[in-house]
Amino acid sequence: MYAKGKLTSWNDDKGFGFITPFNGGKQIFIHATGFYYRNKRPEVNQIVTYSTSVDKKGRVCAIEAAFNEAPEAKRSPVKMNAALFILAVFFIFFVGFMGVISDLPIYVFCYYIVLSGVTFIVYGADKVSAQNDQHRTPEKRLHFLSLIGGWPGALLAQQKFRHKTIKVPFLLTYWVTVIVNCAGFVWLLTPRGSAMLKMIISTLSGYFL
């Protein structure tokens, strides 16, 4: 038996929300997996038709939910923050530029590209895990990836997937990792930092080449 209600709350980061039934009664929990069409982003005030079931925790939950109407309170489409996008891309280009005009090894540019790509993928996988109520990537791991150079990829992923964009403590720690990493990169451009980097590369080359 199907019922109709309004989606009165939605946590996009965690992938769940609550439906208020039109026929009265308590709010009903709904997970992202409870929607028929998962490619459409749920929004508060959308009207949904749904059936009910009981989840693993013994809670009444909505399943087989489908959208009936456009949101009553229409919101702007989710867009990537242009300033943050420019910041991430500019830093990567700056690293490459310094690799051309200075003694900075091109390996550093490649390192940032690869690590940013890996971090982007990890964020995307964590977003999917959050929506499907699966094992999550520890926040410490996400911060570590940002700290060692994957922060541009993390920044792009946060905007692309709308993931980890609300939790203030996480964002504060993230920006600390960005500042520390950028400071480390600037140090690599100094004579002492450049000498240290060349020594490390030479040592690693001796092991692997």
Of the options 2.40.50.140, 1.10.3720.10, 1.10.1040.10, 3.20.20.80, the CATH number for the domain spanning 3-67: 2.40.50.140
Question: Computed from CA positions of residues 64, 70, 72, 77, in that sequence, does the dihedral angle turn out positive or negative?
Answer: positive
Among 102, 77, 120, smallest CA distance to 185 is for 102
Task: Look at the chain and count its residues.
Answer: 209
Q: How many CB atoms lie within 10 A of CB 31?
A: 18
Tens of pLDDT along 85-138? 999 999 999 999 999 999 899 999 999 999 999 999 999 999 888 777 678 899
For residue 172, list its beta bridge partners.
Answer: none
Q: Cα(first)–Cα(last) distance of the chain, in Å?
A: 67
- How many other β-carbons are positioned within 10 Å of the β-carbon of residue 9? 12
Helix or strand run (H / E) with residue 62? strand 60-67
Domain with CATH 2.40.50.140 in the chain: 3-67
Tokens of residue 170, six digits:
């996480």
What pLDDT shows up at residue 72?
41
- pLDDT score of 77: 44
Torsion of CA 76, 77, 79, 83, to 10 degrees: -10
Q: What is the pLDDT of residues 31-74, one digit of tens each?
A: 888 887 655 778 888 889 888 888 888 888 988 888 875 444 44
Q: Is the pLDDT of residue 25 over 80?
A: yes
- Given this model, what pLDDT does residue 55 score? 83
User: Distance from CA of residue 118 to its chain's centroid?
Assistant: 12
Mean pLDDT of 132-147: 90
Tell me: pLDDT of 145 over 90: yes
Average pLDDT taken over every residue of the chain = 87
Please list the alpha-helical segments (H only) found in the chain. Answer: 82-101, 106-131, 139-145, 151-161, 168-188, 191-208
pLDDT, mean of residues 5-18: 88
Q: Given this model, what pLDDT does residue 190 score?
A: 94
Using 50, 70 and 90 to split pLDDT, how confident is the model at 164?
confident
